[in-house]
Structure 1
């Protein structure tokens, strides 16, 4: 993404430009010099959020910030077992057609109003099902939410939905206050950018392009927490600048250091690497083709492109070994449903050229067979480096790729509202269940203007839809696995999307910050347990 000049740090970690003085003053007011902010955690944020609630979007930057402001109905252990949060307990009916949530009675919104089952009902039926890219499929079978009392919400289902408990974390399905949203424009509501939540931290200020400030919630339902007095997210879009700010102590935590710089940075005194496979934050990237464009409809073209990409090179030089090369739409860490028994496209430039010839895409002036514009999702070093590699890899087979860059908000609008693109390098989380993470990219009923991170390709396959919809309601685990295996084979043959990589987001922290909790949530946890030792 583009970063305003006054926000960029040079390699010595010094803020440059007079406009940065406001941020320095803010930090000093929170406890001293930049990086010495008392009991406030300062985090480097590489991508500016488009909003501050994930009730309406699944964007990772939004999840990172807003999961501290909103608690989820449940949390998850490292192996994705649900644990109580806003819901103290739950029961599934014997016929699997209802899920009863027992809500905490002592939770308040940050404006002092009580949190109730009416908020859950409104959020699910009027927001998640309509505006959230994953919620449209996750909650498709929820036909009603009964609220017999203020602390009981009963989800009524038209068909079984065994995955729903896997979708109720804060990063995924944030309950928003009905009294703030009802009767208002959901997508245009000012509360999307100045949120009122239930979580351990309250929203204070968002200076676009600079920082987001959160304060400790003194009325948080989990007594004694949070331990931090607040969190400051500083927008630093350049990976080298994030590394420098971490090394100088201006940040205590960041996710934007380039994979190739990690070993050097962690050799600095007082810095540790917390990167690991947090199940809810493993991201996947792939090429998504606009199938509304005739020049991209021939599957032989897409298969040729897949054969022209050297996965081993990408693993070594883009991921630096921190992730894996994708074999299909599901990453291998979704072991319950993953299969590698799918059509494969090993690196073979000769096969790629033969497929292009077969498709009638012969070399013209300059040896070019086809040209397209590639819009890479502006969410970090991996995406940028992978886009550059793809451009270089496709040139020898006669495909000319023009890279186009923009900030995150412009990318989302271009791809999902305006459809002003040819090929995207994009993606997101594919789990924790295929209905939640993967279905949105392939389900024809997920095609919806303005819904981000959905079926951008406009892929429509009756067979893929049937497999997805049947698997979503199948209660027998073995049969679900079989259905998803067949789905993976179908879409890997059709290739509306070429899955490329799955990677673990780099997480670096100074030693004064306590370790993240051992859960599946990683950076999408609420940080209520984190502590800062004096610098």
Structure 2
């Protein structure tokens, strides 16, 4: 992480002085938060894009929540049991929970969602629940999931983002992907959907019948949340500075402005709440393109990019050069013992010559397109940086801009692209977030945030499937390390950075972070401390 920002966050540059008696949460108020880009869909059970996940967790609960130590806390499930052979997982559901339309939440909702959504549509859960042989519901509040093989990764992805439950009574018998309730969601969560003015805002209001209470006081504390769509990065910074918005995640402002905003007494930068997602930025290479079938060409791309300079120039130090798709903070699973591609443009040129891609009369070896994730200027500038890096080795790159639906269809459906700059959440277990980028079964199925490169490897598939079914965590760790070595040898995707996201929020907004997955969790605990006094920033 940028050391200047770290000092500002951890020391005296941002000092908050609270009134002595400001200990109890205050009920009321409207929180305006910035969401960018605008979600394509409002239900993360069907689309795991970051904007959808950030919004959706406020409408839908998960079976569990995660605390600040990755430990499980009860949510829709009050308790759970895992059999000794790890092949049976039993959930004991909370009684009295209702969907926002008044219908009771029951085990039938969980069973239907698992069988029809998690196993068939969800880009991450297809592999996690792929070995499910049956789901029993002996009563309305018990769900028994039976696996043919152990599935140790399940417990790491049971929150609203990982295991979002849909209302069976509104989805059964419908075209799930085109169900109108995908965009006017009915959940069990702390806030109720009210309006989506496309291109402008999404409004949620407090759920007066929410099950979660603290010391007899019903949550959530806020009356309303307005998710405001602000496409321009400068406008987002201005809205936060003027107090027109009080909360904005995923590094919402130009990175060069982060230090300035961190010094303002009315704002603070928050880096917690992203631990669960373990984000990494990478360059997907369409290995079905004739010129990218040769691994030497893919290696040349990697050698051509100076990741240290890329991190400093484009990402202002809010990242760390990556050597593997498993980020280094996942110490149990990460390995440095993989093929590495340190910046070496001369070696890149030699590899291209060996592959038969000689420079033409104009010095160009190859002309290709690069599509970047349309999530803001950082990704556009990433594409432009890579364009310049590849130009030095004779590859002419056309950087293309488009909206999110066009981008995802181009990459994951039509596969009409050459290079793609994108980030994935790796999550707490590689089986949840990393293997989807390499598992051949999802290629070309138009499932966003899956195997966009088109990589097909019998060895990689076997390692993934063995890790999926192993009952030994030690064995799973060894398998994931072998997988990292395999994919870094084949290089269908080039890891660029381990990303360090931050949130900008009003300094009197309290309890926005209560777990490692906060960015994909609800704001039911958030409240405005109107008694707070904000000290001036230190010089």
Per-residue Cα deviation, 1:197-250 (whole angstroms, up to 9, x for no partner) = 010000000011100000000010113100000100000011111100000010
- Gaps (5+ residues) in structure 1? 1-37
Change (3 A) 1:187 1:47: same
Which one of the candidate residues 67, 79, 94 is aligned to 1:77? 67
Q: TM-score by structure 2 length?
A: 0.90
In the TM superposition, 1:121-270 aligns within 5 A as 121-223=111-213, 224-255=218-249, 256-270=252-266
Name 1:460's counterpart in structure 2.
456
CA RMSD after TM alignment: 1.4
- Gaps (5+ residues) in structure 2? 1-27, 532-539
Contact 1:281 1:522 in 2 (8 A): no
Which one of the candidate residues 321, 324, 327 is aligned to 1:328? 324
Partners of 1:449 and 1:477 in 2: CA distance: 31
Partners of 1:79 and 1:504 in 2: CA distance: 19
Name 1:315's counterpart in structure 2.
311
Partners of 1:373 and 1:276 in 2: CA distance: 36
The alignment status of 1:99 with 2:86, answered yes or no, reads no
Name 1:522's counterpart in structure 2.
518
Number of corresponding residues: 499
Cα shift at 1:534: 3.8
In the TM superposition, 1:261-410 aligns within 5 A as 261-276=257-272, 278-410=274-406
Per-residue Cα deviation, 1:9-43 (whole angstroms, up to 9, x for no partner) = xxxxxxxxxxxxxxxxxxxxxxxxxxxxx701000
Contact 2:40 2:405 in 1 (8 A): yes
Cα shift at 1:117: 0.5
Cα shift at 1:433: 0.8
Partners of 2:53 and 2:148 in 1: CA distance: 29
- Partner of 1:367: helix, strand, or coil? coil
Contact 1:63 1:172 in 2 (8 A): no
Partners of 1:78 and 1:357 in 2: CA distance: 51
Partners of 2:444 and 2:208 in 1: CA distance: 40
Which one of the candidate residues 57, 64, 81 is aligned to 1:67? 57
Partners of 2:436 and 2:259 in 1: CA distance: 36
Per-residue Cα deviation, 1:248-300 (whole angstroms, up to 9, x for no partner) = 01000113112221001122231101124622234222111222221211110
Single out whichever of 418-427 and 91-100 deviates more from structure 2.
Answer: 418-427
Contact 2:132 2:148 in 1 (8 A): yes
Cα shift at 1:384: 1.8
Q: TM-score by structure 1 length?
A: 0.91
Partners of 2:99 and 2:49 in 1: CA distance: 23
Partners of 2:243 and 2:512 in 1: CA distance: 19
Partners of 1:164 and 1:191 in 2: CA distance: 27
Partners of 1:393 and 1:78 in 2: CA distance: 40
Cα shift at 1:459: 0.7
Name 1:413's counterpart in structure 2.
409
